[in-house]
Amino acid sequence: MISDQQARTARSAVPRTSSLARLQQVLVLGTLGLTLTWLWFWWSRSPSVAVVGAALSLGGYALVLGLEGMAAAWLNRQDPTQPAGWRGVLGAWWQEVRVAPVVFAWRQPFRWTSLPDDAGPSDADTPAVVLVHGFVCNRGFWLPWMRRLRAQGIPYASVNLEPVFGDIDDYIPLIDDAVRRAHALTGRPPMLVCHSMGGLVARAWMASALGTPVHAVVTIGSPHRGTWLGRFSRVANGRQMRLDGDWLRGLVERESRNALASTYARFVCWYSNADNIVFPASTATLPGADNRLVHGAAHVAMAFHPRVMDESLAMLASAGRSPSERTAS
């Protein structure tokens, strides 16, 4: 039975603003404007220069993704994870080339408010879901998940992790609020689904021992032991994701002090041998967790991989059928 207090919590504030959305709107519209200006200026002078410049303006990101993929393939040679092979790396690159503009130039800047969080108590027979995005993202990242959850009648809550380049520990109150809202929707411990940096935010929240229980934590391409690319970052949360960096070692110490190391058993960690952001590949795993390898999946595309979505949501269905889970909370 959901109390009046839980109902009020479920209706509490959800993300209303996104500085990242505004930033990405400026970048997208600015890029389009500059590209059109370039075409207008050069077309009558040199059509080939006009086309090449426009292609680099709109598609230059594909070159960056290619460099990331090659760096990941090179460093994964020494990783215990089965290598993707060059065919797998190429396939992952093509996945990311297609999905990146949809996420970063459409869903996040322009569609991030199109599907709101559930605001009232639900009679769903499963736990609710808390959606936690990663670095330089907002809740618009999760639109395919939101549509799927709505179709299956599963309530959810989400966050915007801002300030965008802030300290990971500063996001803990945002996660705590979202978990409480999700718990209030069904009266049951929710399941966290986290992409990339979002998995570290979830761990930091759990290590803070704020007390709200969770059913499980699903992480997708999360740099649990950091990522090689972190060495190039100059922003706070980027530096915190350096391979075996000080912040990550401190997180493990906090987990140990709070006797939370065993909670890795509640983690399902999806990772890929072709992840172009979090590599070497095994850095996205946790000891004692249910670590599941997705062959040849790119970093962003992995979040929407059919197997990742299907198996993660199947965990909710099984929780709904569990008598012990129905009596929890």
Q: What is the mean pLDDT of residues 137-164?
A: 97
Greatest mean pLDDT among 9-23, 39-53, 257-271: 39-53
| Residue 123 confidence (pLDDT) | 85
Q: Which two tokens stand for residue 250?
A: 């401190």
Q: What is the dihedral of CA 86, 88, 89, 90, to 10 degrees?
A: 90
Q: What is the mean pLDDT of residues 61-87?
A: 97
Cβ neighbours of residue 156 closer than 8 Å, sequence gap 6 or more: 117, 118, 128, 129, 130, 131, 145, 146, 149, 182
- Give the three-class secondary structure for 152: coil
| Residue 260 confidence (pLDDT) | 58
| Residue 2 confidence (pLDDT) | 47
| Residue 43 confidence (pLDDT) | 97
Q: What is the dihedral of CA 272, 64, 227, 73, to 10 degrees?
A: 50
Q: What is the mean pLDDT of residues 123-142?
A: 95
pLDDT band at 319 (very low <50, low <70, confident <90, very high): confident
Ranges assigned E (strand) in 79-214: 129-132, 156-158, 191-195
Q: What is the mean pLDDT of residues 143-168?
A: 97
Q: Is 211 left (phi over 0), alpha (psi -120 to 50) or beta?
A: left
- Is residue 13's pLDDT more than 50? no
Beta bridge partners of 129: 156, 191
pLDDT band at 257 (very low <50, low <70, confident <90, very high): confident
Q: What is the mean pLDDT of residues 105-125?
A: 93
Distance CA 61, CA 99 (A): 12
| Residue 318 confidence (pLDDT) | 81
- Is residue 11's pLDDT more than 60? no
| Segment 221-236, tens digit of pLDDT | 999 999 999 999 999 9
Q: What is the mean pLDDT of residues 279-291?
A: 97
Residue 106: burial class (beta carbons within 10 Å; 0-12, 13-18, 19+) = middle
Q: List the domain boundaries for the chain.
A: 4-18+112-327
pTM of structure:
0.93
| Residue 328 confidence (pLDDT) | 43
The fold of the 4-18+112-327 domain, in CATH, is Rossmann fold (3.40.50)
**Cα–Cα–Cα angle for 49, 51, 57, nearest 5°?**
100
Q: What is the mean pLDDT of residues 38-62?
A: 97
Q: What is the mean pLDDT of residues 11-17?
A: 59
First-last CA distance in the chain: 10
Distance CA 198, CA 305 (A): 17
| Segment 237-250, tens digit of pLDDT | 999 999 999 999 99
